[in-house]
Structure 1
Amino acid sequence: MEIADAVVIGGGHHGLVAAAVLADAGWDVCLLEATDVLGGAVRSAELHPGFTADLFSAFYPLTAGSPVLRALDLGGHGLRWAHAPAVLAHPAHPDGAPAAVLHRDRERTAAALGPGDGEAWLRLCAQWDAIGDAVLRSLFTAFPPVRGPLELLRRTGTADALRLARFLALPVRRMGEELFAREPARLLLAGNGGHADIPPDAPGSGVFGWLLAMLGQQHGFPVPVGGAGELAAALARRAAAAGAELHTGERVERIDVRGGRAVAVHCATGRTVRARRAVIADVAAPALYRDLLPAAAVPSRLRADLERFVWETPTVKVNWALREPIPWRNPGTAGAGTVHLGADARGLVRWAGEIESGTVPATPFLLLGQMTTADASRSPAGTESAWAYTHLPRGVADDRTADGLAERIDEVVEAFAPGFRDRVVHRMVQRPRDLQAADPNLVDGAVGGGTAQLYQQLVFRPVPGLGRSETVVDGLYLGSASAHPGGGVHGVCGWLAARAALADHGLLGGLRRRARSAALELIYRDPPPPR
């Protein structure tokens, strides 16, 4: 039997971050990844000779803004970033009218938005300059956050803090209407809000749209030179340089729990690793509690709560190798790395309504990436490596429906760029089952570790009462996107899990563990029988 201070289950980017942080602290770390490739949903591959495709995530504004990943100095481990000429574009209609375009130069962005809305955009940027770091500190820390909100209160004052709280609670559609007079500026928020699975008329969508738009304005939407896999490779090199042992092809089947504490993990290969101090699980919350832990270790009320765990909507993605760049009708779209396509502001509401009502949209809203535009190394000169994805309703993930939606993706691009299909030399569809087969955490093609809607965020993530990385089992920590703060390539979930494990073995570790056990006993105690 092998022995390590900490065992990390899963080699996605959160697991690699956790391994690096624990190894930096001097712990012996053993990471076990089920697939043959590290990185989870941060991977790339050559799907056609000379063309590199990002298989899952592709653009990384959250990575650029994450204090966790910046602190790891991935540039010192081979990571290089590239940018497209424009951050993103959102053509509202396929009629050739100019698209809304976000440039890395805020003055250029504002100038394109015109009088009034341009000035409003610059005021929004100034607001971000004043509070953005405190907002990220509030989002990217253990729940409940303390320092970030206190800093926000100090900078804004009580009255403006209340106004900020209201602003952050706005649906993205309402936020755009309050800030801007015309549609192009509103689309820059609404399209970014579409990166989450929150309807544009629902609370919480505004903060996603605002956050991504402001990160895009501050940092751009960078991509790793050579493909998304280069980000995962840099994380792996960083963890290994700190001393972590990284193993692929080791699927963990179960976690041993003795005396209420996680003490070992067992792999399908027969490998067993004993954990002296901690087990960090970079796996989806339902898989951890239903599959890896013994039933006796999971309170019945927690099992009942997990029955209400909600995945985000299934994803259908199409990857193309193009002999020439996409022939966009709308000026400004050709230079954008990210393109939001297929719906104006009202169309986004209709599309989200169809998804939420269980209807497969006839005209899907797309998130499209022009990867060679962003990084010239992705395909031969004069060509383009591109992809687009959209969503199916929850509960609809069969191959036939996915293939039909993939055809509609092609139709939408063709409508905005006549002649697009004639330039395709290779096409590959990733259906929901394909995504899950490549990364078991992407259940039915859900790419964010569970819905981002308000009822499953903050203290409710992954279930009420478990809004931190600590779990109901001593020494076991949830370090995946199913934990707070949720989806996105920011590394915070793994970092928080590692920091919690270190704190539990610090000077006050015993007090922390006893207090947590008492709190969890209250939360998950079975209710008294009715009289």
Structure 2
Amino acid sequence: MSADAVVVGSGPNGLVAAVTLARAGRKVLLLEAAERFGGGLRSAELTLPGRVHDLGATVMAMAVASPAFRELALKGVEFAHPPVAVAHPLDGRPAVLVHRDARRTAEGLGRDGRAWLASAGAAAEAGFPLVDLLLQPLGPWHVPLKTFAQAARFGLAGALPATTFARRAFRTVEGRALIAGMAAHSMLDLRAPITAGYGLLLGALAHLVGWPLVRGGSQVLADALVAELRSLGGEAVGGHRVRRLAELDAPIVVLDVTPRQLLAMADLPDGYRRGLERYRYGPGVFKLDWALDGPVPWRDPAVAGAGTVHLGGTLEEIALSEAEMAAGRHSPRPYVLLVQPYAADPTRGGHTLWAYCHVPNGSRADMTDAIETQIERYAPGFRDRVLARHAMGPAELEAANPNLVGGDIGGGLASLGQFVRRPVWSPAPWRTPLPGVFLCSSSTPPGPGAHGMGGRQAARLALKHG
């Protein structure tokens, strides 16, 4: 097939780029090294026949909120909401619960309820204009002036380390733990700047759009994007690895790859090449998937209704765990991010579960016992429910998806220095020095998440300048 544009890589950013180009009338060829499309949206039977597990993203708050996906308005994708968006169990106390209703969430936080409404609640009330601004850190901006004022207020709090913000704004163990659990999604030391911002944005999204799952598995979303591309006359080819850009012949090339892959694929100008070589990857994860014979036996029954569960205890415990990881060590009591899809979606063949903890990039440690011990801490008897388990450390994750360098699921360290300098400092970092070649992975702004915004920005630049 002759093509006006070739997209390499079918993660959420690559898929959004391909569909955006096709809707603009371009003849698009999508090439994917794996046999199945989706990258971080893939699903598979990892444990037992008939049990559907997501290899990467499950919770789709970013996708639902993203202007890229709102604009695409895909058909055939149903988002399923759990009764509770997020739960954070604590020893000897009721779990902290995050509901779609911000005021109900605040009521559960007692005297910290007002602080929650003034921070995450206020960001949720600002609505999609604020989300659009935050997911387009370099523009173009088409938002009301009021939104810039709301963003400034958000930024004053969000720029702080999560530990600092939690201790200044919240007084209870529950409120501080909730901020820590949210902020730890950043995979950064919680004493680092902007970690509060990551936590507050995720908290706000829980109220604005919820933390839903794709009914049937995340693969359904990937397949819907591929179907849309093909309906527009595009072609999608799996099992085709592109090793060098010289293999491609099209006026527009969009790459859903990280800097390491781009360095191997092309001869680049010296300055740009040195910039990519300085790009820093973040910590990795150790991920476990389980097939269970029933629901997790949580000590606090309210946790059973949560799609996502943050395990790790208090602010101090989670901060210590993430500091250990950032220092290159393995915490004996790691922060664990756990998702129980069956709370929202009973169509996945039974009680499936996954969880991961953060580990140093490239770690070879087996964290199975540490993760399961943290689950048992809040759900005694959990191991008795396990029918089968599947483990993937950094090496296995990278083998399944080369973009996950050293097990880094975020496409690069999400630090302040790389917040907009992804992968190099540029007013348009999606554009490479090579004519017609654009980068769209999570190594470009706005960074990690199944939001497709890197693909949207790269495709729009390509249509304008490609």
Q: Which residue of 2 aligns with 1:278?
A: 252
Provide, for residues 11-37 of structure 1, a one-character-per-residue CA deviation record: whole Å limited to 9, x for no partner. Answer: 111111111111111111111111101
Identity %: 39
The answer to whether the 8 Å contact 1:312/1:450 transfers is yes
The separation in 1 between residues aligned to 2:426 and 2:152, in whole angstroms, is: 26
Q: Which residue of 1 aligns with 2:79?
A: 81
Amino acid corresponding to residue 447 of structure 2 in structure 1: G
* 1:121 pairs with one of 112, 116, 122: 116
Q: Which residue of 2 aligns with 1:520?
A: none
The separation in 2 between residues aligned to 1:129 and 1:164, in whole angstroms, is: 11
Provide, for residues 437-478 of structure 1, a one-character-per-residue CA deviation record: whole Å limited to 9, x for no partner. Answer: 1111111211011111111121x1112337521111111000
The separation in 2 between residues aligned to 1:468 and 1:11, in whole angstroms, is: 20
SS of the equivalent of 1:367 reads strand
User: Normalization by structure 1: what TM-score?
Assistant: 0.84
Instruction: List aligned pairs for 1:444-483, cutoff 5 A.
Output: 444-458=406-420, 460-465=421-426, 468-483=429-444
Go from structure 1 to structure 2 and tell me whether the alpha carbon gap of 1:500 and 1:54 turns closer, same or farther (over 3 Å shift): same
Instruction: List aligned pairs for 1:118-157, cutoff 5 A.
Output: 118-124=113-119, 127-141=122-136, 143-148=138-143, 150-153=145-148, 155=149
Provide, for residues 222-275 of structure 1, a one-character-per-residue CA deviation record: whole Å limited to 9, x for no partner. Answer: 00111111111111112222221111011111113xxxxxxxxx2xxxxxx420
The separation in 2 between residues aligned to 1:235 and 1:219, in whole angstroms, is: 21
The answer to whether the 8 Å contact 1:142/1:496 transfers is no
The answer to whether the 8 Å contact 1:4/1:29 transfers is yes
By how many angstroms is 1:151 displaced? 4.8
By how many angstroms is 1:122 displaced? 2.9
Q: Which residue of 1 aligns with 2:394?
A: 432
The separation in 2 between residues aligned to 1:167 and 1:34, in whole angstroms, is: 41
Amino acid corresponding to residue 89 of structure 2 in structure 1: P
User: Normalization by structure 2: what TM-score?
Assistant: 0.95
Amino acid corresponding to residue 30 of structure 1 in structure 2: L
By how many angstroms is 1:376 displaced? 1.0
The separation in 2 between residues aligned to 1:448 and 1:162, in whole angstroms, is: 25
**Mean alpha-carbon deviation: is it higher for 419-428 or for 127-136?**
127-136
The answer to whether the 8 Å contact 2:329/2:360 transfers is yes
SS of the equivalent of 1:4 reads coil
Q: Which residue of 2 aligns with 1:303?
A: 273
By how many angstroms is 1:412 displaced? 1.3
By how many angstroms is 1:146 displaced? 4.2
Q: Which residue of 1 aligns with 2:352?
A: 385
* 1:91 pairs with one of 89, 92, 100: 89
Q: Which residue of 1 aligns with 2:464?
A: 503
SS of the equivalent of 1:376 reads coil
Amino acid corresponding to residue 196 of structure 2 in structure 1: G
The separation in 1 between residues aligned to 2:152 and 2:305, in whole angstroms, is: 39
The answer to whether the 8 Å contact 2:190/2:323 transfers is no
Provide, for residues 323-381 of structure 1, a one-character-per-residue CA deviation record: whole Å limited to 9, x for no partner. Answer: 0111111342111110000231001111111112221111111000111112111233x
Q: Which residue of 2 aligns with 1:355?
A: 325
Instruction: List aligned pairs for 1:271-420, cutoff 5 A.
Output: 273-275=248-250, 277-288=251-262, 290-294=263-267, 298-380=268-350, 384-394=351-361, 396-398=362-364, 401=365, 403=366, 405-420=367-382
SS of the equivalent of 2:244 reads strand
Provide, for residues 420-450 of structure 1, a one-character-per-residue CA deviation record: whole Å limited to 9, x for no partner. Answer: 1111000110111111111111112110111
SS of the equivalent of 1:274 reads coil
The separation in 2 between residues aligned to 1:150 and 1:280, in whole angstroms, is: 33
By how many angstroms is 1:129 displaced? 4.4
Go from structure 1 to structure 2 and tell me whether the alpha carbon gap of 1:29 and 1:73 turns closer, same or farther (over 3 Å shift): same
Go from structure 1 to structure 2 and tell me whether the alpha carbon gap of 1:107 and 1:136 turns closer, same or farther (over 3 Å shift): closer
* 2:222 pairs with one of 232, 254, 277: 232
Q: Which has the larger radius of gyration?
A: 1
The answer to whether the 8 Å contact 2:253/2:438 transfers is yes
Q: Which residue of 2 aligns with 1:253?
A: 243
Question: Where in structure 1 are there 5+ consecutive unaligned residues?
Answer: 257-265, 267-272, 506-531
By how many angstroms is 1:501 displaced? 0.6
The answer to whether the 8 Å contact 1:328/1:334 transfers is yes
Provide, for residues 80-119 of structure 1, a one-character-per-residue CA deviation record: whole Å limited to 9, x for no partner. Answer: 11111110111132x4x211110112232122112x3223
SS of the equivalent of 2:403 reads coil
The separation in 2 between residues aligned to 1:246 and 1:87, in whole angstroms, is: 35
RMSD of aligned C-alpha atoms?
1.8
SS of the equivalent of 2:59 reads coil
Question: Where in structure 2 are there 5+ consecutive unaligned residues?
Answer: none
The answer to whether the 8 Å contact 2:121/2:204 transfers is no
Provide, for residues 176-234 of structure 1, a one-character-per-residue CA deviation record: whole Å limited to 9, x for no partner. Answer: 22332212122222211111122211111011000001101221110011111111111
The separation in 2 between residues aligned to 1:130 and 1:219, in whole angstroms, is: 11
Aligned residues: 465
Amino acid corresponding to residue 291 of structure 1 in structure 2: A
Go from structure 1 to structure 2 and tell me whether the alpha carbon gap of 1:129 and 1:346 turns closer, same or farther (over 3 Å shift): closer
Q: Which residue of 1 aligns with 2:14?
A: 15
Answering whether residue 154 of structure 2 is matched by residue 174 of structure 1, we say no
By how many angstroms is 1:8 displaced? 0.5
The separation in 1 between residues aligned to 2:167 and 2:428, in whole angstroms, is: 33
The separation in 1 between residues aligned to 2:427 and 2:392, in whole angstroms, is: 33
* 2:207 pairs with one of 217, 221, 225: 217
Go from structure 1 to structure 2 and tell me whether the alpha carbon gap of 1:466 and 1:284 turns closer, same or farther (over 3 Å shift): farther
